[in-house]
Each structure stands twice: as C-alpha cells, then as structure tokens.
Structure 1
C-alpha cells in the first residue's frame, strides 16, 4: 500500500503481505497530480499492519488511499497534491509513538490518522497534541479518546464503545435474555466496551455471570469458554476483534456453545465474518458501516471503486474509516483555506460530511463538544447462509443515527483545553 513515484520507496515502509497489499498497490499508480509545481502535502497514517488487526488496518489504509486519489484528482489540498505515508504500529504503544514522532519530526506530515488499536491511538494522541498536529483517530473506539482524555486537536471517525453498546444492548436483552457472560479483550478497547455494555445491562435489570479477560492475540479460547459454559448465562457476548474474534467464534461453534446459550456481541466486522466458517457466523451485532444500502446516495459508486482495488471484494467499515478520515481533512482545509491546526480543529466542530463521504442515510457530523463523529450503527444479525449474494453476510434490520446512540456531550467527561 505505497504511494507513487516521488514518494519514498517501498523498502522504507512496512511491506504489506497478501492480497490486501496487492490490491492496495493498484492504487499506487501515478495518481499524484502535477499541481503547478507545488510541494506535496503529507498525511501520516499509523496502523497495526501486522498482528491480530492486520486485515482491518490494511483496509483502513486502502480506503485512505482511494480518498487520496480522489482528492488529488480534484486539485489536492489548497492546490497541493497529497502524499500518504504509512507506518506499522504492530499493536504496540511504544512502536506507535515512535512511528508518530518519526512521521511528524522527520517526514514533516501536516496531519495524522490512526490507530485501530485504542491504546496506541491514545498514546499517539499525546504526541500529536504535544506537536500541535491535527489528528483523526480512524478506528480506535475506547470512550476516553473523545471523553476524559479528549484533546483539542483530536477527532474520531469510528463509534465510541458506549455508542456501540447503546445501539444493540436493548435488543440483545429483549430477544436473548437478561444473564450475560463476557469474553473481553484485555486492553483499553475491551475494558470500556464491556463497561458500557454492563451499564446498559444493569439499567435494563439484568445481571453479569462473569467476565473473561483475554490477551490480545489469543488463539485458544477453550479455558474461557469452559468457564462461560459453567456459568450458564442466557447470552455469551464475544467482544474481541480481528483474528481473536475469528478464533473465538470458531471455537464457540466447535464446542457447541450455541446449543446452550445465545452467542452474540456488540461490534462486528465484515473482515471477521469473511474469515470464519458459516457455522460460526451467528448472533446479533452492530456494524459501523455496511456496504449494502439500496437507494443511499454514493454507496454504489464507493462499492464499485473499492472492488477495483480489493480483488473484487466489497468494502468494509474499515475502508470507510480511512476514506472518511482523508476526505474530512481535505474538505475542512479547502473550506477554511488554511493548514493551521487550531483553526481547522475549531472549524471541524459541527462540520457535516457530504453525501458522497458519509455514505449512510442519517446526518453524519462531528460534535463540537467532544470531537466525536455522529455516525450510524447498522444493527442486525450475522448470516451463516446468505440468501442471495454470497458477500452479504449480515442482515441489517435497522440503522440508528449516531446522535441517538451517543451519550450527551456533558456525560462524556470531555473538557477541551485549547492553546492560547
């Protein structure tokens, strides 16, 4: 997933492996415009291109590259072409911080995007805040990023963990039962997601039978599943993501856990459903964006454009996160005719995404008080056997607007401190 000609050679960047890398390289054709001799404007992106979240991270980068291509074809940012410089955080906080500093100090990027991993995203936000660089968190969900640890220069595209829980908890309680057991990834994202779901459960009058904390990169979930089976809940909520989600649901199916209790969760990803066998695709979930939206402006075009660079496969929410992050930065800079981080950060408060960027039926805008994008939740059920299109692995039953799932700004704990 490298950028063209005058951008630094691939050997100086992480080499992405497999089909995703090959697809992304199709976007590395010479799409940087010759913008009147202007110096290219650099956007840095830090994501975990290797490890448990490699598939979703690579798709975020692919979506960002498509947006770069489109922006450059329309004159770039303030007449300057964009270069996207990508670094691998490898799901490690220290590595992510190092890569962010490198992009800012050595590569002189104007903006930064990332990270999928919430812990890494929070650490990078400390760096961008220190350096006064406008930063969009594309895929890290933990509440505190736009909550108690919010920063004037940091905005977020993906949902918060509270938004995810609020979108689906009532449905799970009503349809599946009031006793829940959790399988939770043991880091920032998992902790806040489980906390939000438990708060909703308790408000509804339900109880938790247990919470199994699992390290990132777990391959064997048998011990956790044995404990969950012994607790005899109504619902087993599977909260890990990436390859951890795939491994967990595969073992749930192998052990026949679904015959004893309902299996479901909160956030689900198309990358995960694609990677697991049909019998593991079960339960109610929420998607943060879904590719099948008949009649919604711009979606069909976006699907077609991603197919061209994704080995014919449909886009996922992660493609949309990267795509939206780049388009947000370009749109606000061109609107304000400025690259000043503070001015742009102020202008993004209340900024609404255009139809061909939001790609969903509801209003999609950045809240001024916490810098969180009010983006929709696509709530429905995973399909073990799709009725028609084999790529349609999720049945969307309802699309809930972000300002219906997000806590009030006053309840987030965000207190923005602006530089003088």
Structure 2
C-alpha cells in the first residue's frame, strides 16, 4: 500500500492568529496555506500494478499522486489533507479487484474509490461502490457499459467510451485505406465493445468485416491470428487491444512483414505501448486520448514539467487519467461542501474541469445524466520519432468528443438516484 498525506497539528486558524499576533497585517499572494487537520480524506486507488496493464496502472497512480500534492497545496478537501491509498488489483482478476475495493471501503474507510484500467474489473468494482454508496471515478476503463447500460449515479468515467474511440477514427481509415477489415480483438469487455463500435461503423459507412479473432488477455504469441488475417487479403488489419498485448501483436506483425502488405491500425494506442515498440513497429493510425505536446493549450507544459520532475519522463494519457480522477474527487467535495456521495455526484453533473486540470483544447465536462467526461480525442499516427525523442505520435486532427459521443439516450444509460 502506498499513501501520501500532508498534515500538521497546527490548524489554519492558529496560523492566522499567530500571524496577527506578530503584527502581520496581510499575507500577500502567492502565499498558500497547506491543508491541515488530524483526519485526512482518503482516496482509494484499486488498479493494476502487475501484469499486462502494470505500466498503464502505475502511470495512473503517478497522476493521482501529483493531484494529491496539488490538492493539499491548495487547501485540501474541505480543509482536510487528502491521502491516497493504493492497492494492486492485478490486471485481469475480477475477484482480486473486488476484494481490494471492499477492503478500501470497509476497512480503510475511503471516501472515494478510483479504478480500474481493465474495463471488466471496472464493471465489477462499480457493483461494489454502488452497493456501498461511495463516489467512484473510473480513470481508464473504456467499455461503454460503465456510463451506458449499467451506469450508476455514483460512478464517473474520465477516459472515452469505446464507441467514442471508434467513431473518431473508423471512417477516416475506410476513406484512406479501404473498407475491407480484419480484426484481432481482446476477449473481454474492452475488446468486445470496441468490436461492437467498429461493426456499427462498418455498417454505417459501407465497410466489410472479413473476420475476427478473439484473443485472451495476456496473449504473447499472435502468429496464428496474423496468418489468418493476411490470408483474407484485407485493406486494414485492426488491432483492438492494449497494453502488452498490443505491443506484442504489433511487434510480431512487423516481424512477419505484414506492414509492407496491409495497413495496420486500431482504436486507441498509448505512449506506454509506443515506448515499448522498436522504432520500425511504431506505425499505424490510432486515437490518443491525451498527448503531452499541445502547443498553445494553457497549463499543459506546467503539467508535463511537474510529472518529469517526479518521474524523469513525460506524462502519458494514463498519467492524465489518474490526475483528473483524483482532482474530480476534490472538486466534487469542495463544490458540494460535503463528503456525502449523493451531494458530490449531484455537484459533478455538467461540471467543466478547470483549465489546469482539463489540459486539452475542448474543455472537458462531465455530461449530466451519464457521468461521462467529454473532452478531446487526438486522431493521428504513430511515428518512430518526431520533434523530440518522446514524440512518438503525430496528431493529424483533434476531434471534439461531444461530436463522437452520441446522446445520453443512445448510450443506454438510465440513471436512477437514491430516494
């Protein structure tokens, strides 16, 4: 378990009284009184720190940690210090994720639950948080149902839905490279709803699905799937997976020379994946959900510098997911002036993130009645290296997420609130 807190036995009122007694009439900006108090407000992060999604999970944790530092430097949550408690959910074991969620809520008495990278684990955790009535922020689990057919009043999501991701890229792939597609898809909630999204896009734009293989999470050998894909003669081989699975699949596709015969693409990619690939395998068209190079967007460079100071590396979309997730908890409580979950969830309905948290061209907001964050999607292509060593993705266009999200009714979310 990992925790962070800023606390001291001296209250804010005592500090001000001492200052007045010393004859200090004013404390001019940028003087900041840090969050103080004996009882911290606890945020519980239940996320993968081992397995296929370890790298992405750890980066979400880093984003949470930076947010906690900033929250405490700005007065904390309701004047109390914020503290982060972290548990390893594993990358694919729903039983472990649920057990850790219950521990954080029942034993550690967290006021907020965060997680999970794995969509299936996020759905399982949402059942627990809903049962317990705890505000739950899902930083990076994409499957549509989280803010769709199984939505809950207490569960909010930072990353995009899978349908938003396919809507952002599918038509441009068909227009540029052809409409015959073969799919290699992760066999769990994330892959399933990505496939559903692409299937709908193919039907909408006259595409053809030549075949689909479902691959278990944690697959290391993709050779049989790649052989089947090339035999169908597709225009595009579409990889609907993430983490180490996507890394291994792309490496093997390039080793087989498939990139010389077909276009390789997918839905979302991650900087963690691109960093792990050899330069020759940094190819294909993808969505990025956040990117560290955004000229002219306020506060992005400050965020990048703060993360580099902590880790020596640039932030990824996952770092931003975790950062926004933890900040969402503080914003909800401070806006509601309460740690009551219903009051905080109500306060988040329609809330726009402040620019220093949103960090993208289209100011992100939580859509009322669905609890889905709507912001920007960065559509582009992977590259061996761009303007700097860690510039591994070229943004071709920035898409407004509101145009990709459909309506609340189309999402299938029928939210009910406690009486």
- Normalised by the length of structure 2, the TM-score is 0.92
Q: Deviations for 1:154-210, whole angstroms, at most 9, x for unmatched residues?
A: 010000000000011111011111000001000000000011011101110011001
> 3-state SS of the aligned residue for 1:212?
strand
- The alpha-carbon deviation at position 363 of structure 1 amounts to 2.3
Q: Measured at CA, do residues 68 and 6 of structure 1 come closer, stay the same or move farther in structure 2, by a change above 3 Å? A: closer
- The alpha-carbon deviation at position 92 of structure 1 amounts to 0.8
Who is 1:227 aligned against? 228
Instruction: Give ranges in structure 2 of 5+ residues lacking alignment.
Output: 8-32
Q: Measured at CA, do residues 36 and 172 of structure 1 come closer, stay the same or move farther in structure 2, by a change above 3 Å? A: closer
Who is 1:393 aligned against? 392
Give the Cα–Cα distance (whole angstroms) in 2 for the partners of residues 4 and 143 of structure 1.
32
Q: Is the 8 A contact 1:40 1:80 kept in 2?
A: yes
Matches within 5 A, 1:78-157: 78-90=78-90, 91-157=92-158
> 3-state SS of the aligned residue for 1:407?
coil
Q: Is the 8 A contact 1:158 1:375 kept in 2?
A: no
Q: Deviations for 1:342-373, whole angstroms, at most 9, x for unmatched residues?
A: 01111111000010001001121001121100
Matches within 5 A, 1:242-321: 242-310=243-311, 312-321=312-321
Give the Cα–Cα distance (whole angstroms) in 1 for the partners of residues 127 and 375 of structure 2.
25
RMSD: 1.4
Q: Deviations for 1:6-59, whole angstroms, at most 9, x for unmatched residues?
A: 99xxxxxxxxxxxxxxxxxxxxxxxxx974433011000111110000000000
Instruction: Give ranges in structure 1 of 5+ residues lacking alignment.
Output: 8-32
Count, aligned residues: 393
Who is 2:59 aligned against? 59
Larger radius of gyration between Structure 1 and Structure 2: 2
Give the Cα–Cα distance (whole angstroms) in 2 for the partners of residues 182 and 4 of structure 1.
43
Q: Deviations for 1:319-357, whole angstroms, at most 9, x for unmatched residues?
A: 000000111111121122111100111111100001000
Q: Is the 8 A contact 2:355 2:363 kept in 1?
A: no
Q: Deviations for 1:372-397, whole angstroms, at most 9, x for unmatched residues?
A: 0002110011002x243111001101
Give the Cα–Cα distance (whole angstroms) in 2 for the partners of residues 6 and 398 of structure 1.
41
Q: Is the 8 A contact 2:5 2:83 kept in 1?
A: no
Give the Cα–Cα distance (whole angstroms) in 2 for the partners of residues 94 and 404 of structure 1.
36
Q: Is the 8 A contact 1:363 1:401 kept in 2?
A: no
Q: Measured at CA, do residues 35 and 292 of structure 1 come closer, stay the same or move farther in structure 2, by a change above 3 Å? A: closer
Give the Cα–Cα distance (whole angstroms) in 2 for the partners of residues 271 and 105 of structure 1.
33
Q: Measured at CA, do residues 36 and 270 of structure 1 come closer, stay the same or move farther in structure 2, by a change above 3 Å? A: closer
1:166 aligns with 2:172: no
Who is 1:13 aligned against? none
Q: Is the 8 A contact 2:94 2:124 kept in 1?
A: yes
Who is 2:186 aligned against? 185
Who is 1:418 aligned against? 417
Who is 1:12 aligned against? none
Who is 1:378 aligned against? 378
Give the Cα–Cα distance (whole angstroms) in 2 for the partners of residues 298 and 228 of structure 1.
44
